[in-house]
Each structure stands twice: as C-alpha cells, then as structure tokens.
Amino acid sequence: MLQMFVTVLLWFSAIGCGLLAGLYFAFSTFIMTALGRIGQASGIAAMNAINVTIVQSLFMPIFLGTTVASAALAVTALLRWGEPGAIAMAAGGVLYVLGMFVVTMIFNVPLNNALAAADPASHEAASLWARYLTDWTWWNHVRTVSSTVACALFIAAIAAR
C-alpha cells in the first residue's frame, strides 16, 4: 500500500514539477523580457494583473500540492533510505522545496508585494520596476532550474523503483 502511495506521489510530483518548470521557463525566457520592453506603467500593470490572476487559478493547487508531495517524498526517502530511488527521491524533494517554494516565499512574493504597492506611473516606480525585472527574473531562473532538476530526479526515482 505504501509503495503504491509513494509511486502516486512520485508521478504527481514529477508532473507538477514539469508543469511549473515550464511556466517558470516561459517567464525567464520571454515574458519578463517582453514586459520590460513595454512602458513602465504598462509593464507594472500587466505583471500585477498576472500576479492577481495566477493565485486565483489552477496554478495554486498544483504549486502547493507539488510542494507538499515533494516534502513528503523527501521525508519518506529518508525513512526508507536503502530502497531503490531513495537518493533521487530525497534530492528531488529537498531541491524542489528549497529551490522553488522557499525561493518563491522569500524572494519572488515580497518583490510582487512591493510592485503591487507601487503607483505604476510614479517616478519612484521606475527604479522599482528596473530592480524588479532583474531581481525577480534572477530568482525565477533559480525556480526554473530547481523545478526542472527535481522533475528529472523524480523520474529517475520512478525508473529506479
């Protein structure tokens, strides 16, 4: 029974990590660049609209569910260290929770909150927007790589089982 549950969590986590890696990849490779090319007020307004909409979408259950499943897999792997795929499962879980979830909460969310509090047309918003584009995108690259590698590690754990 536990074996089946772990297998389901691995598949769920691999798919969730893959979906989120793709989303983060899109932001890192072209969405943020495109937002940076339009006017400051329009770019800020667009990003704020994205930030409001994303938390009201299917993104949130996948974001939170994949985080919980990944943490559970890391703990399970530590408790069943000698089993095939345990190292990949533990590494994937820890990498995803730290590199995606913790990074999001410590870096991306506060940047989003600061952007939401700014007047998009103000002079002060110009420096905030420039900093936001650089800093938010840097941390999004971390989330992209972490999600991608965690996905690969979960697939490796599935294959090893």
What 76-79 contacts at long range (C-beta under 8 Å, 24+ apart), as own/partner pairs, is 76/6, 76/9, 77/157
pLDDT on residue 143: 98
- Whether the CA torsion 30, 33, 38, 42 is positive or negative: it is positive
Contact by Cβ (8 Å): 21, 63: no
End-to-end CA distance of the chain: 15
Average of per-residue pLDDT across 18-31: 98
pLDDT surpassing 90 at residue 49: yes
DSSP code of 108? Answer: I
Closest CA to 96 of 116, 115, 118, 71: 71
pLDDT on residue 2: 83
What are 101-149's pLDDT values in tens digits?
999 999 999 999 999 999 999 999 999 999 999 999 999 999 999 999 9
* 136 φ/ψ angles, rounded to the nearest 5 degrees: -60, -40
pLDDT on residue 33: 98
pLDDT on residue 158: 98
Closest CA to 108 of 42, 27, 38: 27
For 106, the token pair is: 């410590």
The pLDDT-based confidence of 9 (bands split at 50, 70, 90) is very high
pLDDT on residue 116: 98
What are 50-109's pLDDT values in tens digits?
999 999 999 999 999 999 999 999 999 999 999 999 999 999 999 999 999 999 999 999
